[in-house]
Amino acid sequence: MLLYNSAVSGNCYKVRLLLAHLGLPYEKVDVSVVDRTGRKELLGELNPGLRVPTLVLDDGRPLAESNAILWYFGDETEYVPQDPYERAQTLQWMFFEQYSHEPYVAVARFWLAYSGKPEGFAVRRDGVMKGGYAALDAMERHLAKRSFLVGDAYTIADISLYAYTHVAHEGEFDLDAYPAIRAWLDRVRSQPGHVTIDA
């Protein structure tokens, strides 16, 4: 398998983390998240969105969008529940990640830590920070009552939300007021086969 990847992207990290848990080998092609030069030539035939992660399966078929890749590899493993309700809850949290969490937590991190133009974030800062803290508040309420996001087990829902939550400080989000999230981050880090974002 071939993974078009950015080392700093939380979306790419999700995929690398699940593949590490599953012990699946792959090769990486590094793609910059800042410099988009040549992106069309590199990814145009594989992913119309020209984004990473993009994965090419061993049979040559491409697959894009981090959460779709998580579902593809996680389904029929311990990382996706078999119970229909818990499967739906897993998707619920993955949609939450893409629509209520990533657009704020990941965007702040990109602008402040990786864009090279943090001043470009000033105009949108208040709204982004408000949205990010709203997502963190929702996670804190949920995780205050349980160990993981879905059922009693670590799933791809946890992988999906861990990717950007554990580096939220790079976007100037302060997790000190979120003890349930911090405990959950520790539980995720303790899972067998865990790798760090810089691995």
By C-alpha distance, which of 97, 135, 132 is closest to 112?
132
Share of the chain above pLDDT 90, in %: 84
For 79-111, how does the pLDDT look when each residue is reduced to its tens digit (9 = 90+)?
999 999 999 999 999 999 999 999 999 999 999
Q: Give φ, ψ of 191 to 5 degrees.
A: -70, 145
- Helix (H) or strand (E) segment spanning residue 62: strand 62-64
Predicted TM-score (pTM) of this structure:
0.95
Classify 192 in phi/psi space as left (phi over 0), alpha (psi -120 to 50) or beta.
beta
Per-residue pLDDT at 39: 81
User: Which DSSP letter does residue 35 get?
Assistant: -
Domain boundaries, the chain: 2-74, 84-189
Which residues of the chain have a pLDDT value below 70?
none
Going by their DSSP bridges, the two strands 27-30 and 54-56 should be labelled as unpaired
pLDDT of residue 172: 96
The pLDDT, as a whole number, for residue 65 is 97
Model pLDDT, residue 123: 82
pLDDT of residue 32: 82
pLDDT of 115 reads 86
* CATH classification number, 84-189, choose in 1.20.1050.10, 3.40.50.300, 3.40.50.880, 1.20.1440.230: 1.20.1050.10
CATH class of 2-74: alpha beta
Residue pair 188/162 in contact by the 8 Å Cβ criterion:
yes
